[in-house]
Amino acid sequence: MTGPPKTSGPSEAEDVAEPLLAMHDIVKHFPGVKALDGIDLDVLPGEVHCLLGQNGAGKSTLIKVLAGAHQPDGGRILWRGEEVRFPRPMAALNRGIATIYQELDLVDGLSVAENVYLGHERARAGFTARGEINAATTELLRRLGHPEMSATQEVGALSAAGKQIVSMARALSHDAQLIVMDEPSAVLDQEEVNRLFTVIADLAAQGIAIIYISHRLEEIRRIGDRITVLKDGRTAASGLPAADTPTSEIIRLMTGRSIEYVFPDRATADDVSAEPVLEVEGLARKGEFSDVAFSVRPGEIVGLAGLVGSGRSEILETVYGARKPTAGTVRVAGKPLRPGRVGAAMAAGVGFCPEERKSQALILGDAVYRNITLASLARFHRAGFMDNAKERREAAEHTESLDVRPAGVNRPVGNLSGGNQQKVVLARWLLRGCRVLLLDEPSRGVDVGARAEIYALIRGLANQGIGVVLVSSEIEEVIGLADRVLVVSDGRIVAESAAEDIDEHRVLDLVMEGAVA
């Protein structure tokens, strides 16, 4: 299995060097979802390998498999030509594969050096060898081109960029030969990005390979050597040259789908004259989004497309009153809502299905019917006393009409699958009755079959005259389901279009342009 040394490879382009890492046909299932469906990835020593793909394409799952955080259900991982398994994250680290996640896993209260050597502390007779790790960390920081950083500084006081350097120093302290970076530039400003790229280039020159994940094509062109594109859990293309693969080609590879979703037909001939049921004007929240304006007519589905972190979820939560805006107004059926008050929005007939179903919407240990009636308790009591029978009866009517499976409103909602949990959240608002329904990622964690049902359900609600606002990371979903599409980028609405007049490429173009600017 030992290949020829890097310099004496044959002339074939793919065989120039023995890959440092080769992942073959990696498969990973989650309950109800096939997250990875046969992925191949080759990384050469000393290259910056870019991993591209839409949200849900499998990038995060893939790097977690590589880091030993997930166990693959199939496929092989070859490391320096030798087949390996990583049953624990430490196993991958010990082989020299370090992963820097988006949410950095640093301990704020410890010093830089203590963080770098966390988990492999150096000690003599049980006493920490502070001087030794401080000196070693200072050397690593110098190697990373940041000699100005102090090894004894507390990590909590560092900027996001500083923390990233600490994470990289930690990777190097494990003698990493491959560093995986998940959207490292997302939290950095332009100057910090430039410095990060200098560091990455230095590391690559030292022979360390980097897997770099980013949505920003411009960055990939600057520092990437080769590109692998993922799509729906499969490798769509690999080994593309980063410098001169046309953007249109990359976007085509990212968007061309192997799974076709069934979207319900749009309602024909809306009465465009109808008064809007929801009007948002000049809405802003400092540091999150600004000058957001849109309106929704009864029976219309308006989709917000944008990347994670673009501000779309924050906009939705602010409209609902769960966050207080710094400026702007929200009107429902012509009447302004008191800002920052969930109660006011609900009283005006606004319903909200939040992004994180489990942490924001459901009480997992509680029965299905109780989760459904949570927003309408006032309907089920007489003088404060709950009428449980009526609750169960009315909740059951909705679970039956939505076909929640398994049936039975008494089981804990935590035992249901993602799609059925989403139906329970929708049932909550159907039971209450609303004019405006705000849906944040309604199909997240929902398997393909249940998706079609959820889509049909949402369209059905619109047909009953409810104004729907839909947020989704999946551009195809927004375009397929919505009547009108707003593109959100960096906290602003950068484009608006009828869904028929826009396609996935155009949206992705707008989203990525906005992110680069």
Binding another protein (rule: CB under 8 A), the pick from 342, 448, 452, 494 is 342
Among 78, 237, 308, 374, which residue interacts with another protein (rule: CB under 8 A)?
A: 374
Burial letters for 18-37: b for 16+ Cβ neighbours within 10 Å, e otherwise? Answer: bbbbbbeebbbeeeebbbbb
361 binds another protein (CB under 8 A): yes
Q: Which of 44, 48, 88 is nearest to 64 (CA)?
A: 88
**Contact flag: residue 86 with another protein (CB under 8 A):** no
Strand partners, 305: 472, 487
Residues 405-464 binding another protein (CB under 8 A) are 405-408, 410-412, 414-417, 420, 428
**What interhelical angle do 160-173 and 130-143 show, nearest 10?**
110
Position 89 contacts another protein (CB under 8 A): no
Total of residues contacting another protein (CB under 8 A): 41
Residue 257 or 324: the one with the smaller Cβ distance to another protein is: 324
Which residues neighbour 311 within 8 Å (Cβ) at sequence distance 6 or greater? Answer: 288, 289, 488, 490, 491, 492
- Quick check: 285 and 443 in contact, CB under 8 A? no
Lay out the site mask for another protein across 381-400 (x = CB under 8 A, - = otherwise): x--xxx--------------
Single-letter amino acid code for the residue at 161: A
Interaction of residue 181 with another protein, rule CB under 8 A: no
* Per-position x/- string for 17-56, each x denoting binding to another protein as judged by CB under 8 A, each - no binding: --------------xx------------------------
Shortest Cβ 390–another protein spacing (Å): 13
**Other CB atoms within 10 Å distance of the CB of residue 408:** 12
Residue given tokens 């994670």 in the structure block: 308
CA-to-CA separations, 443 to 172, 244, 422, 448, in angstroms, rounded: 39, 35, 8, 9
The answer to whether residue 318 forms part of the interface with another protein (CB under 8 A) is no
Neighbours of 71 (CB within 10 A): 12
- Among the listed ranges 13-21, 266-274, 375-383, 498-506, the one in contact with another protein (CB under 8 A) is 375-383
Q: Which is nearer to another protein, 1 or 378 (CB)?
A: 378
Phi, psi of 312 (to 5 degrees): -65, -45
What tokens appear for 289 in the block?
Answer: 């989004």
Stretch that binds another protein, among 110-118, 187-195, 227-235, 401-409 (CB under 8 A): 401-409
Interaction site with another protein (CB under 8 A)? 31-32, 320, 322, 342-343, 346, 352, 354, 359-367, 370, 374-375, 377-378, 380-381, 384-386, 405-408, 410-412, 414-417, 420, 428
